[in-house]
Amino acid sequence: MQVIVDMAKCVGAGACVLTAPDVFDQNEDDGKVIVMISSPDEARRAEVVESCNVCPTMALSIQD
Amino acid sequence: MTEIINCPVAHEREVRQFPFDRPGCPMEPSGTYAELRSTEPVSKISLRLNGREAWLLTRFEDIREMLSDPRFSADMTNPGYPLQFEFPMELIGKVKPALLHMDPPEHTKNRMMLMPELTVKKVASLTPRTEEVVDECIDNILELGKDGTPVDLVEHLAMPVPAIGMAEMMDIAHEEKELFTRWVTLLVTQGDGEEHADLNMRVEMLLYKLIAERSVNPGDDLISTLTQRNIKAGKPLDDSEVSALVRAMIAAGHESTVNGIAIGCMVLLNHPEQAQLLRDKPELSGPAVDEILRYSSISDHGTVRVATEDVVIGGQLIKAGEGVVCSLSAGNHDPAVYDNPNTLDLTRKEARHSLAFGYGRHMCAGQTLVRMQLQTVFTKLFTRIPTIKQAVPLEELPFKSFYQALIDGLHALPVTF
Ligand code: HEM
Ligand code: SF4
């Protein structure tokens, strides 16, 4: 599982960070997302899927 | 894509006065929402405030779709914009728009300057102090009500927690705190126009002073870090824009949090079995906030846009220049997304992605902060005062008028314990 981010879409809402704190973080300069684990293991699938769902701008997606 | 409803008798379409009446339980959304969602999910409304016509969205998916479509604008100077608050018409277009009313690229530039102040990490660093403040408020409540007299949770909990939080985040000096507190209180209680204008001006001057001081002598408060970030980036925003950004944040954040605390406490007081769940299962304290926000959807119809091109949403053609109002409450009670939507269920997982904070590029900038504050307040209040009860029946609570207020709230919430 690969996490794909569209940086142009991210508005720094941090919803992904709250949902999957080990996978995502936020940049100090503009609050935008940082992917800390770009290929999370399967055990994290549920929280990564939920992060994609809570992201208000559809900036996140998963590629298998 | 659903087919376009090209109704040949469009002129006979019912135009309903908005906001709708809300008879029945004040905690439940207007029954008209449920009806419209199944029979006419995109319907015509006329705003009670100014008679402007607009489209009302009531389905979760339609709201998400509209709020992520770049062809809709948040520009309130557009004559089709469904303006729902009193705004001096002669000023429209003259004053600088607040963050909420900007479109990209202006919006992106401003929002990205603010967001680092409200990240998950920043908010986590504010948690211990928030816990202290909430504990102090609860100590005070316990003292005030120890002989059985009712204590007002609005005055003694819902107002001070966000006001103190905001003043400390911005490091407002002791001698200026009173001005600041009076100003944020006025934002909640309206007050008379003259006092408003006077306080607004004084707060504006205060912000200018703080921005100037902290440009040269920065601390680690919000104004300092925001100012420094702006300087480091080559000053994309001038001082008036920095000041406007801070004011926009307070205006968008203060009253909504006061109301969120008050309504949230009311919801829990009226669902004792759910409040008990919160006491028994501390792991529910985070999800509980999401469900309470979904269930109460206090910011129901303030999320509005205007179409800049013809767009089809939910099968309905919305023409360029026409306004759209989202009922976030209707979307949050959409049975297509939430089973038994009118039931409060703190264990509900899907509440996480509700529309309570909006959606799309304007989605609430303060959502992480609010979640932390509400979680601290609800958990502490209901565990520290397990016998807490509402002192008057639900029907007698002084709700803020839903014809005027854009955000549901209470003037007072008396409790005993
Ligand atoms: C329970 C409390 C709150 C609720 C229910 C709430 C709800 C919302 C909603 C629905 C929007 C989107 C409006 C739109 O799209 O037109 C919004 C935007 C916003 N909120 Fe909140 N909010 C709350 C608290 C806060 C707090 C505490 C802050 C700041 C510290 C804040 C700052 C903002 C800002 C700056 C925006 C505009 C964002 C933009 O335009 O990019 N809010 N809020
Ligand atoms: S939820 Fe989406 S918009 Fe928010 S920080 Fe994460 S990627 Fe960015």
How is chain B split into domains, by residue range?
10-95+103-416
Which CATH number goes with the domain that contains A35?
3.30.70.20
User: Residue B407 in 3-state DSSP?
Assistant: coil
Q: Assess whether pLDDT exceeds 50 at residue B1.
A: no
Q: What is the DSSP string of B39-79?
A: H-SEEEEEETTT--EEEEE-SHHHHHHHHT-TTEE--TTST
Q: How far apart are CA B184 and CA B206, in angstroms?
A: 14
Structurally, chain A folds into a number of domains equal to 1
Q: What is the mean pLDDT of residues B366-385?
A: 97
Q: Assess whether pLDDT exceeds 70 at residue B388.
A: yes
Confidence band of B200 (pLDDT split at 50, 70, 90): confident
CATH node for B10-95+103-416: 1.10.630.10
| Shortest distance, CA B147 to any CA of chain A (angstroms) | 41
- B93 or A10, higher pLDDT: A10
Query: Does the reported pTM lie above 0.90?
Result: yes
Domain that holds residue A53: 2-63
Measuring CA to CA, which residue among B373, B87, B68 is closest to residue A55? B68
| Shortest distance, CA A33 to any CA of chain B (angstroms) | 10
- Phi, psi dihedrals of residue B152, rounded to the nearest 5°: -85, 115
The minimum-distance atom of ligand 2 relative to the CA of A60 is: 7
How confident is the prediction for chain B on average, in pLDDT?
Answer: 91
Q: How far apart are CA A8 and CA B66, in angstroms?
A: 19
Q: How far apart are CA B33 and CA B29, in angstroms?
A: 7
Ligand 2 center to residue B77 CA distance, Å? 29
pLDDT for the residue B2: 47
The tokens for B97 are 């728009």
| B22 touches B402 (CB < 8 A) | yes
Q: Assess whether pLDDT exceeds 70 at residue B4.
A: no
Confidence band of B201 (pLDDT split at 50, 70, 90): confident
ipTM tops 0.95: no
Pick from A14, A53, A57: CB nearest B120: A14
The residue type found at B165 is: G
Tell me the percentage of chain B whose pLDDT exceeds 70.
93
In tens, the pLDDT along B250-264 reads 888 998 999 999 999
| B154 touches B410 (CB < 8 A) | yes
In tens, the pLDDT along A38-57 reads 999 999 999 999 999 999 99
In tens, the pLDDT along A13-27 reads 899 999 999 999 999
HEC letters along chain A: CEEEECCCCCCCCCHHHHHCCCCEEECCCCCCEEECCCCCCHHHHHHHHHHHHHCCCCCEEEEC
Confidence band of B197 (pLDDT split at 50, 70, 90): confident
Q: Assess whether pLDDT exceeds 90 at residue B196.
A: no
Question: Closest ligand to B106 CA?
Answer: 1
b/e map of B304-321 (b: 16 or more CB within 10 Å)?
bbbbbeebebbebbbeee
Question: Which of A30-39, B48-57, B175-184 shows the lowest per-residue confidence on average (mean pLDDT)?
Answer: B175-184
Q: What is the mean pLDDT of residues B287-296?
A: 97
